[in-house]
Amino acid sequence: MLYQMEPIPGTDKALRKQLTAQALERLSAQQLPIRENKLPVIVLIEGWSAAGKGSLISKLIRDLDPRFYNVISFDNPTETESRRPWLWRYFTHIPEYGKLEFLDSGWVEQTMRDRVSGRLDKNQFQKRLDSIKRFERQLCDDGYLVVRFFLNISRKEQKRRINRLLDNKDTMWRVSEFDRWQNEHYKECEAVYDEILEATQSSYHPWHLIDATDTKEALPVVSHILSEAIDGAMKQKPVSGQPGGVFSLLPSPPISTVDLSPSISEDEYKTQLKACQKRLKELHNKIYRKRIPVIIAYEGWDAAGKGGNIRRIANSLDARGFEVLPIASPTPDELRHQYLWRFWNRLPKDGHVAIFDRTWYGRVMVERIEGFCTDEQWQRAYTEINEFEQELMDWGAVVVKYWIHIDSDTQLERFQNRQNTPEKRWKITDEDWRNREKWSQYEVAVNDMLQKTSTAAAPWYIIESKDKRYARIKAMKILIEAIEKALVD
């Protein structure tokens, strides 16, 4: 291994016992400040099979209050997990603000396995490393403290431990096929671990390589490092200082210059609608069969006709294979996590279609304008969003984003119409009128959003919706084309 071992205290038994007690006491005393400072802490324990990851965690939590921490143990992805982006199981499991979370191995072990087994070729492995780096940086930028340990044992020591487990019928089930395989292919695994640790090394959450030959010796060391990191983060919130991914962006003219005159006749609409719906139905079968996920993002002005537009697409699809996800303001639980968490939690299975009625772009629109997040947060969000969509596309998803567009006069007309029609009145609220007053602020935000997130791979499509029928047909045609393209690739 390329890394420097952490120093470990001498083997004096009494001293070690005392050091351990002190270290665990310190950790216990940090629980309350962690909660009060709303600091989320991820303790990632990676390392060799049989290195004692689980038992180390059991000892670390000995004096902790169960209300303040979680232990999550990741094994091979379940079926549910393997039908989502690889990062899904980790992102959906990040702790809430003010909680400690111990991970019994995580993205490092999985990536090592995927690489050694050949499920990732060289190129995909590089992409995976990038994905890990993005993930850890996003967590850090959101104030998450990630403390990372790698428990190291030699091949010989690993063999000894595996044999000891196999000797007892109550523990032999703990030894998996993979554990034995790993011992036989220790050198190969070591080389991949080295690559991953080197590539993901960083100043804001350094790797701590721990000699785990003697678990009792490792405990006070790990505990001490962890407590120091927590104290550090409490004094100064972690910041990665890293800029994040760079994306190739398409030019976006100001939204006010969009020509809203395109329209379509009633007859033409009926004919085209029928043809589009038939085609979408066929394509839905195909993507289901090929397990291609489709993510459709709807944003637009109030009363622009999002609902009717969504319904025309939804009506073309088999109800068993799609979901419409209306996005309201975040719940208290959602507010206690990184803001993309709630969207990760809503991702569909592969082969399924998810239609988001409003989206993760709320961060750079309503949250920006209403001051629900800081300037730093919404400014950083453009990159985070581009990275999120990148992750979806790397998974194999078709991502289509619509801005349903009308002008201010048209909105006024439709608002008044809703107000004056009894069975439509529930569709219009005081909040709609208040938002309308902020039209010009929203216009600035929309232009910024289109300019900064219209990536070459996931561009925004402006849907002119003064004529709602025209808008529906245009959206359907774009979707059809995007799916057809994915089926060919």
**Look-up of token digits 């998810």:** 354
Q: Beta partners for 44? A: 103, 148
Q: At what angle do helices 306-314 and 468-488 cross, to 10 degrees?
A: 50
Kindly determine how many residues on this chain lie close enough to bind a second copy according to the rule CB under 8 A. 49
104 lines the binding site for a second copy (CB under 8 A):
yes
Alpha-carbon span 461 to 459, nearest angstrom: 6
Give the residue with the Cβ less far from a second copy, 357 or 391: 357
Measured from the Cβ of residue 354, the count of other Cβ atoms closer than 10 Å reads 19
| Cβ proximity of 15 and 120 under 8 Å | no
406 lines the binding site for a second copy (CB under 8 A):
no
Q: Beta partners for 464? A: 405
Choices 93-101, 133-141, 285-293, 388-396; region in contact with a second copy by CB under 8 A? 285-293
**Look-up of token digits 């998450």:** 144
Nearest to 464 by CA among 305, 343, 339, 314: 305
Angle at CA 177, nearest 5°, toward 209 and 171? 80
Measured from the CB of residue 375, what is the shortest distance to a second copy in angstroms? 29
350 lines the binding site for a second copy (CB under 8 A):
no
Q: Beta partners for 462? A: 403
Give the residue with the Cβ less far from a second copy, 259 or 423: 423
Choices 2-10, 51-59, 188-196, 384-392; region in contact with a second copy by CB under 8 A? 51-59
67 lines the binding site for a second copy (CB under 8 A):
yes
Measured from the CB of residue 67, what is the shortest distance to a second copy in angstroms? 4
324 lines the binding site for a second copy (CB under 8 A):
yes
Q: Which of 12, 65, 268, 370 binds a second copy (CB under 8 A)?
A: 65
285 lines the binding site for a second copy (CB under 8 A):
yes
Write the CA distances from 38 to 50, 57, 165, 224, 340, integer angstroms.
Answer: 34, 22, 40, 21, 18
Q: Which of 66, 118, 251, 422 binds a second copy (CB under 8 A)?
A: 66
Measured from the CB of residue 298, what is the shortest distance to a second copy in angstroms? 11
Choices 57-65, 136-144, 225-233, 241-249; region in contact with a second copy by CB under 8 A? 57-65
326 lines the binding site for a second copy (CB under 8 A):
yes
Taking phi first (over 0 means left), then psi (-120 to 50 degrees means alpha), and beta for anything else, what does residue 152 get?
Answer: beta
Q: Which of 4, 320, 431, 437 binds a second copy (CB under 8 A)?
A: 320
345 lines the binding site for a second copy (CB under 8 A):
no
Choices 166-174, 187-195, 211-219, 429-437; region in contact with a second copy by CB under 8 A? 166-174
Q: Which of 14, 246, 259, 319 binds a second copy (CB under 8 A)?
A: 319
* Residue 146, burial from CB neighbour count under 10 angstroms (0-12, 13-18, 19+): buried
Give the residue with the Cβ less far from a second copy, 56 or 450: 56
Query: Beta strands of 143-254 (E only): which ranges?
Result: 145-152, 207-211
250 lines the binding site for a second copy (CB under 8 A):
no
Measured from the CB of residue 285, what is the shortest distance to a second copy in angstroms? 4
**Look-up of token digits 């995927």:** 114
Element (H, E) at 221: helix 215-235
Q: Evaluate the CA torsion angle 179, 180, 183, 189 in order and state its sign.
A: negative
Alpha-carbon span 125 to 111, nearest angstrom: 8
Residues lying near a second copy in the complex (CB under 8 A) are found at 29, 32, 54-55, 57-58, 61-63, 65-67, 70-71, 73, 78-80, 102, 104, 170-171, 173-174, 282, 285-286, 288-289, 307, 310-311, 314-315, 317-321, 323-324, 326, 331-333, 355, 357, 423, 426
